[in-house]
Chains A and B, each alone.
Chain A
Amino acid sequence: EDQVTQSPEALRLQEGESSSLNCSYTVSGLRGLFWYRQDPGKGPEFLFTLYSAGEEKEKERLKATLTKKESFLHITAPKPEDSATYLCAVPPGGTSYGKLTFGQGTILTVHP
């Protein structure tokens, strides 16, 4: 069964204090890993897709990287507006792409 585990469950940073979030996965034949941001009372907002080990994607203060076993979301010099829950998800192994298996998320709080 596909599994996605995120750590830490919660992370509190001071504004400007860089850090990383981890997403570990077990799926046979990874065919992509998705990162989302979710604000309270809202649906997940798509950030990145990574398809192969070694790939990196960047958007403003966020950079996502992928290895064969895990993905990291690096946050450089965060601001309070980066506070949110960050979710990662993978599609199933095999031939079906449709459903995503999500981790439980990391709640990021950035203090001014």
Chain B
Amino acid sequence: GAGVSQTPSNKVTEKGKYVELRCDPISGHTALYWYRQSLGQGPEFLIYFQGTGAADDSGLPNDRFFAVRPEGSVSTLKIQRTERGDSAVYLCASSLGEGQPQHFGDGTRLSIL
């Protein structure tokens, strides 16, 4: 596909469960970013990968959140022991490199019951 692909588009789960959110970036983009967006707010940074390594994970709220990008392409955001406050839209973006425009997917809407 031409754009950033995120799956699933919607995820509903119970408090305490584990979830994985997947991001497939634009082909050839070396940088990949995760953001979280709550209703009425702008996206909030979580983590940024350059290649396979996390270049900046300063936005991860706590150790329940973890992200990987093992082969430098697809990335997975993992949330353990989910809480109701984790409910939000999780957005993934990719760019050709640092400082280049970030192109976003349509997000995964996560609802914790």
Q: Which of B14-22, B38-46, B67-75, B77-85 contacts A (4 or more CB under 8 A)?
A: B38-46
Contacts A44-B43, A99-B48, A102-B42; is A91 near B99 (CB within 8 Å)? yes
Distance between A84 CB and nearest chain B CB, rounded to angstroms: 14
B102 within 8 A of A: yes
Contacts A32-B99, A43-B91, A104-B40; is A99 near B45 (CB within 8 Å)? yes
In the bound complex, do residue B104 and residue A99 qualify as a contact, i.e. CB atoms below 8 Å apart? no
Q: Per-residue 0/1 for B83-113: is the Cβ within 8 Å of any A Cβ (1 yes, 0 no)?
A: 0000000010100001101111111000000
In the bound complex, do residue A100 and residue B102 qualify as a contact, i.e. CB atoms below 8 Å apart? yes
Q: Per-residue 0/1 for A42-59: is the Cβ within 8 Å of any B Cβ (1 yes, 0 no)?
A: 111110010000000000
In the bound complex, CA of A44 to CA of B93 (Å):
9
Interface on chain A toward B: helix, strand, loop, or mixed SS? loop
Please name all residues of chain B whose beta carbon is closer than 8 Å to the beta carbon of A96 when the two chains form the complex: 55-56, 98
**Contact partner of A45 among B31, B58, B99, B104, CB < 8 A?**
B104
Contacts A34-B101, A99-B59; is A105 near B106 (CB within 8 Å)? no
Q: Per-residue 0/1 for A16-58: is the Cβ within 8 Å of any B Cβ (1 yes, 0 no)?
A: 0000000000000001101010000111111001000000000
Q: Per-residue 0/1 for B27-68: is the Cβ within 8 Å of any A Cβ (1 yes, 0 no)?
A: 000010100000011111100101000011011000000000
Total interface residues on A, using CB and 8 Å? 25
In the bound complex, CA of A55 to CA of B91 (Å):
29
In the bound complex, do residue A44 and residue B99 qualify as a contact, i.e. CB atoms below 8 Å apart? no
In the bound complex, do residue A43 and residue B105 qualify as a contact, i.e. CB atoms below 8 Å apart? yes
In the bound complex, do residue B55 and residue A89 qualify as a contact, i.e. CB atoms below 8 Å apart? no
In the bound complex, do residue B106 and residue A42 qualify as a contact, i.e. CB atoms below 8 Å apart? yes
In the bound complex, CA of A100 to CA of B44 (Å):
8
In the bound complex, CA of A58 to CA of B33 (Å):
27
In the bound complex, CA of A46 to CA of B91 (Å):
14
In the bound complex, CA of A31 to CA of B100 (Å):
11
CB contacts under 8 Å to B, within A79-105, are 87, 89, 91, 96-105
Task: State the B residues within 8 Å of A (CB).
Answer: 4, 31, 33, 40-45, 48, 50, 55-56, 58-59, 91, 93, 98-99, 101-107
